[in-house]
Structure 1
Amino acid sequence: MPDAIGDSVLDKYLKKKKLDPLEAYIPAVILTALQIKELGKFLQVDEPKFADCRSLLRSGPASSLRVNIRAVALYASDAGNGSAFSDVDGCLRALEELDSLLLRASRNDSEASIKSMEMKIGTALDALDSLLKTVPTDVLDKGKAMADAYRSSEEDTTPENLDPELKKLESIL
């Protein structure tokens, strides 16, 4: 009984952050999945740069993956799908193991094979896909549209897509 009293006293002092709407997390999860797929392409070259691959796992949308997928899992759990947390655990475990393999490969460890890295990427992507299946269709469609808009806006800022006046300015600088 003292625990129940102690918990209620502590609850007054602890601020719990309210979750953002589900729609806020979905585009980032989708973009992270695309980023992880892109990482698989980096491993296909003759001599992959494993350190660059590791930094890719920590940058952009992937940098907040842990927070985003846990929030999505909480929404799924509230909707009655408690298995979403196993998807989160599976994804994070696969990415941690992938990171370990990339580190070992960057140190020329011959046992860190690209095939095992690709398997970890596949496991992480499968877990993300399974988690996204718990999201209501309308929310998922909005998230995909937002992710596509973000990706197309990134492509529009590449030097070849700049208008001629901006190209002139860029060449002067």
Structure 2
Amino acid sequence: MSGAAGCALCSAPVAPRGAGASSRVVRGPAARLDVAVRAHARRELLTGGAAGLAAGLVALSRPGAAGAETAASPLASGGRGIDKYIRKRKLDPLETYLPPMIQGREQVLLVAEVLDDPKSARSLLREGAMKGFRENARAVGQYSKENGGPEKAEAIFKQLEALDLTLASALRDEKSVLDEQAARRQLDAAITAVDALLAAAPPDAVAQARRVVAVIEGRDVDAS
């Protein structure tokens, strides 16, 4: 046959091999990263992103950036990598995060009362105030860090994850038994870590948050 050969699976002709024939370019992983970075930068510019993104776009579109390695170089050489292309959400006021964090602490304390039921204990680590506990603790930790204090949220998560693993081990099969001593030790360590993070916040803000929680829960404010 001369010219384009017919394709049995579609009506579009298939170009023969040889000089002058254009073949479809298959993008490699690095080239796909280049496309993704360009798309992200365009979105940032359209939504009022940082002015520094313009320089990144110029570098990405520069002729002679032969291959994806050169195109991706602004990410590798920027120190913070792709983080510099992403706008971080500004934190809400500290008072927004403290009350739910205090409620989460109270809920963790309840785990000690249901250790004989590991399934219920694990549920307490996931429901109610604990749903947003990680986000709230991270925010309080970020405030502490920005004010020259230590960022202690990870210590809380480490102990809670260890406690959850201990509880999960007791649910593997009927013969599994809860290591209650380990669970209580991890529970105490988690509460200690929460208290350390709260201690890094301004005392007045923590006291106000405790009053808010007392009102929410219908308790005597003075007793809190």
TM-score range, shorter chain: 0.7 to 0.9
Q: 1:142 to 1:9 in 2, by over 3 A?
A: closer
Q: Percent identity?
A: 28
One-letter code aligned to 1:90: A
Which of 89, 94, 104 is the matching residue for 2:154? Answer: 89
Q: Deviations over 1:70-90 (max 9, x none)?
A: 100110011110x2x2x3122
Instruction: Summarize the alignment of residues 13-162 of structure 1 with structure 2, pairs less than 5 Å apart.
Output: 14-43=86-115, 48-81=116-149, 83=150, 85=151, 87-107=152-172, 108-110=175-177, 112-152=178-218
Provide the aligned C-alpha RMSD in A.
2.3
Q: CA deviation at 1:55?
A: 0.9
Does the C-alpha gap of structure 1 residues 125 and 18 become closer, same or farther in structure 2, counting only changes over 3 Å?
same
Give the Å deviation of 1:16.
2.0
- Distance in 2 between the 1:6 and 1:130 partners? 30
Deviation at 1:33, TM superposition (A): 0.7
Check the 8 A contact 1:30/1:147 in 2, yes or no: yes
Q: Secondary structure at the match of 1:58?
A: coil
CA distance in 1, matches of 2:112, 2:140: 24
| Higher relative contact order (Cα pairs below 8 Å, separated by 6+ residues) | 1
Q: Is the 8 A contact 2:159 2:186 kept in 1?
A: yes
User: Which is richer in helix?
Assistant: 1
Alignment partner, residue 169 of structure 1: none
User: What TM-score comes out, normalization by structure 2 length?
Assistant: 0.59
TM-score in terms of structure 1 length: 0.75
TM-aligned CA distance change 1:50 to 1:6, over 3 Å: closer
Structure number, greater radius of gyration: 2
CA separation of 1:109/1:141 partners in 2, compared to 1, >3 Å: closer, same or farther? Answer: same
5+ residue gaps, structure 2: 1-72, 220-224
One-letter code of the match for 1:15?
Answer: R
Q: How many residues align?
A: 143
Unaligned runs of 5+ in 1: 154-173
**Superposed displacement of residue 17, structure 1:** 1.1
